[in-house]
């Protein structure tokens, strides 16, 4: 029961895989590589074992509450709590995707915002006091990407609740179904999902602050993965650096922040960094 435990969602490939690799090298406890598909997950574990690393494995589909509950019960029984949770799993439609915006909006928000939220709601009750949560956002999650000042003001309102934020995310999906989303929300469901995740991070920090839990959002950089169609110039290990910093090294004072791939805290609401990645 005493061993520490770290978990990375969606870690059979890409940045999540590299976060597991980095944690295996430095985290003093057990590290769980998780995947929605068991075969892909076990292959990834075997790949890390060939490097002399020793991740544990558990199935985890963030869109399936039962899958998350089974994992929570397993962790509670085996470890008594969670020390590090990295919410990395996400999807993104390609720029040339032919699915209508309404479909892209519903699916992207379902996975990246609502399923990450429900995963947190299931797992947060067993976070240990002092735990660290890293929400993998994106430069797309910078608030300046939302055209409407009214929405930006709502999203950064320090009294915004999770239920109100989820209401705004549902408003976006409904607007996309009506084809009226562009003026206020812009043209990218991925942007809205990651802005939502970053807003959620700030609310989660407020709710967990008393328990000394640190919750931060991170832009990992533009990384060479399937999601970026291998156009990102950074390696997956480069992309894991800022998430690993937040999981392991950031001072305890770093709370509810939006952290850039170079580990610098950036203002979420204004002054989006102009660096290329």
- Least CB distance to ligand NAP at residue 162 (A): 19
Verify binding: residue 220, ligand NAP, rule CB under 6 A: yes
From 10, 22, 55, 256, residue interacting with ligand NAP (rule: CB under 6 A): 10
Instruction: Label residue 147 exposed, middle or buried (CB < 10 Å: 0-12, 13-18, 19+).
Output: middle
User: d(Cα 144, Cα 147) in Å, to the nearest integer?
Assistant: 7
Q: Buried (b) or exposed (e) across 5-35, using 16+ Cβ within 10 A?
A: bbbbbbbbbbbbbbbbbbbbeebeebbbbbb
Catalytic residue flag (residue 172): no
Question: Are the C-beta atoms of 191 and 141 separated by less than 8 Å?
Answer: yes
Q: Does 9 bind ligand NAP (CB under 6 A)?
A: yes
For residue 17, what is the enclosing H or E element?
A: helix 14-26
Span 195-214, contacts to ligand NAP by CB under 6 A = none
Beta carbon nearer to ligand NAP, 93 or 154: 93
Cα–Cα distance measured from residue 126 to residue 82, given in angstroms and rounded to the nearest whole number:
6
- The reply on whether position 21 binds ligand NAP by CB under 6 A is no
138 binds ligand NAP (CB under 6 A): yes
Which is the catalytic residue, given 32, 190, 222, 245? Answer: 190
| Near ligand NAP by CB under 6 A: residue from 5, 6, 8, 15 | 15
C-alpha 146 chain-centroid distance: 19
Q: Which residues are paired to 86 by β-bridges?
A: 8, 134
- Examine residue 12 and tell whether it contacts ligand NAP (CB under 6 A): yes
Q: 45-65 in b/e burial notation, b at 16+ Cβ within 10 A?
A: bebbeeeebebbbbbbbbbee
* Coil/strand/helix, residue 65: helix
- By C-beta, is 38 or 130 nearer to ligand NAP? 38
40 belongs to the binding site for ligand NAP (CB under 6 A): yes
Does the footprint of ligand NAP cover residue 248 (CB under 6 A)?
no
x/- binding map, residues 87-126, to ligand NAP, per CB under 6 A? -xxxx-------------------x---------------
- Are 91 and 108 a contacting pair, CB within 8 Å? yes
Q: Work out how close the CB of 234 gets to ligand NAP at its nearest, in angstroms, rounded to a whole number.
A: 7
The CB-nearest residue to ligand NAP is 14
Q: Which residues bind ligand NAP (CB under 6 A)?
A: 9-10, 12-16, 35-37, 40, 60-63, 88-91, 111, 136, 138, 219-220, 222-223, 225-228, 232
Catalytic positions, written as ranges? 190
């Amino acid at each position: 029961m005493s061993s520490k435990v770290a978990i990375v969602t969606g870690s059979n490939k890409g940045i999540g895989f590299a976060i597991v690799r980095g944690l295996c090298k430095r985290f003093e406890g057990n590290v769980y590589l998780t995947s929605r598909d068991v075969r892909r997950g076990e292959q990834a574990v075997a790949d890390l074992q060939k490097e002399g690393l020793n991740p544990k494995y558990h199935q985890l589909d963030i869109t399936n509450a039962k899958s998350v509950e089974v994992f929570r019960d397993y962790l509670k029984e085996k470890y008594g709590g969670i020390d590090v949770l990295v919410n990395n799993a996400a999807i993104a439609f390609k720029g040339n995707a032919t699915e209508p915006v309404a479909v892209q909006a519903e699916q992207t928000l379902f996975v990246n915002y609502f399923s990450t939220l429900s995963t947190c709601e299931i797992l947060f009750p067993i976070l240990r006091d002092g735990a660290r949560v890293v929400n993998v956002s994106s430069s797309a999650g910078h608030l300046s990407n939302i055209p409407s000042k009214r929405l930006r003001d709502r999203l950064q309102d320090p009294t915004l609740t999770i239920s109100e934020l989820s209401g705004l995310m549902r408003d976006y999906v409904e607007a996309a179904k009506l084809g009226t989303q562009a003026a206020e929300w812009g043209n990218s469901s991925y942007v809205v999902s990651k802005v939502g995740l970053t807003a959620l991070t700030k609310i989660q920090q407020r709710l967990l602050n008393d328990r000394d839990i640190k919750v931060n959002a991170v832009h990992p950089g533009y990384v060479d993965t399937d999601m970026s169609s291998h156009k990102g110039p950074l390696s997956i290990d480069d992309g894991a650096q800022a998430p690993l910093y937040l999981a392991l090294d950031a001072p305890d004072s770093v709370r509810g922040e939006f952290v850039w791939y170079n580990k610098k805290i950036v203002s979420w609401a204004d002054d989006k960094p102009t660096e290329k990645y």
